[in-house]
Amino acid sequence: MIICMRQGAPRENAEHVIKAVSDAGLTPHPMYGTERTVIAVIGDERDLDIKQFRAMTGVEKVMPVLRPYRLVSRESHPEDTIVDFGDGVKIGGKNGICIMAGPCSTETEELIMDVAEQVKKRGAHFLRGGAFKPRTAPYSFQGHGEEALRWMRKAGDKFGLKVVTEILDTQHVDMMEPYIDMYQVGARNMQNFELLKALGKKNKPVLLKRGMSATMDEFLLAAEYIVKGGNSKIVLCERGIRTFCDHSRNTLDLNIVPVIKKMSHLPIVVDPSHGTGSYELVKPMAMAAVACGADGIIIEVHPRPEAAYSDGDQSVTYKTLDGVLDGIHRIAEAVGR
């Protein structure tokens, strides 16, 4: 950390800062110039309250050197984390591209059985679907809850698929556990810290989606909450962020994939369905995601998108899914995945 004093600040201001740094267990190295003093701080500053130093008399600015997260950082864990679900399904490292597919909402048992059979035939590893649906409008379909979880578990077991679905509340953590193979934390709950803490106490993988306007640091700090609790089985998910663009539902920020790979050891998958909001854009953006290093793709699939209870405009049919997967496999082969 570098602490820059204001031009002309009296020496006693700097000495007060130096003492505070020492009291915090770090080593200050002051450099007294003719116009201002700069204090270099040696040690792990991530446990410090940076705002405390910024508020001290005479301080002009404080520049952290280390990122605020440590457990999910590449510095603390140089090797890629590989999340192993058993039965040969692994996400991360040099493993192949994991495919998660299914409807936005688990509408009926018949639907989820049909979708599970069709996506399994096409090589999917996970069945996705919403049992609890957080919707912008309170009058929209909210999901069938635990009944839908039963349908998904039944379909997953029958067709050999892992099950991932969204959790909305800390009260659901234990109830959902027997039905699923991975909890999904949606964009709206990325900073639901009590939920993240609760999932940190579990030994079950978590798919953590990026918040609608979250920076990379905020995204990784959310993951840090889970790892700090004891659960390191995390898969990150880029699902698009809200910007000024109006030609797609969100802006699918594929820049973050290689940056995450550089900064963190956690695997990351991409959701081109929510990222674009258009079934026509799912294939090119899924291919682009694989090209830039994504470990997996999560896709919304529905046999009749026009009749879907939610997100029909971004759901692909089985025929369209064939083309999406063909494109993914061709890019994966080209980049050695």
- Whether the model clears a pTM of 0.85, i.e. scores above it, the answer is yes
> Which domains are delineated in the chain?
2-63 (3.30.70.1140), 83-334 (3.20.20.70)
Q: Are strands 59-63 and 2-5 parallel, antiparallel or unpaired?
A: antiparallel
DSSP state of 6: P
Q: Minimal CA–CA distance to 66: which of 48, 52, 81?
A: 48
pLDDT category of residue 159 using cuts at 50, 70 and 90: very high
Cα gap 104→148, rounded to integer Å:
12
Does the structure show a pLDDT above 80 at 135? no
pLDDT, tens digit, 9 for 90 and up, residues 246-290: 899 999 999 999 999 999 999 999 999 999 999 999 999 999 999
pLDDT, tens digit, 9 for 90 and up, residues 211-257: 999 999 999 999 999 999 999 999 999 999 999 988 999 999 999 99
Please state the separation of Cα 40 from the chain's center in Å. Answer: 34
Q: Report percent pLDDT > 90 for the chain.
A: 86
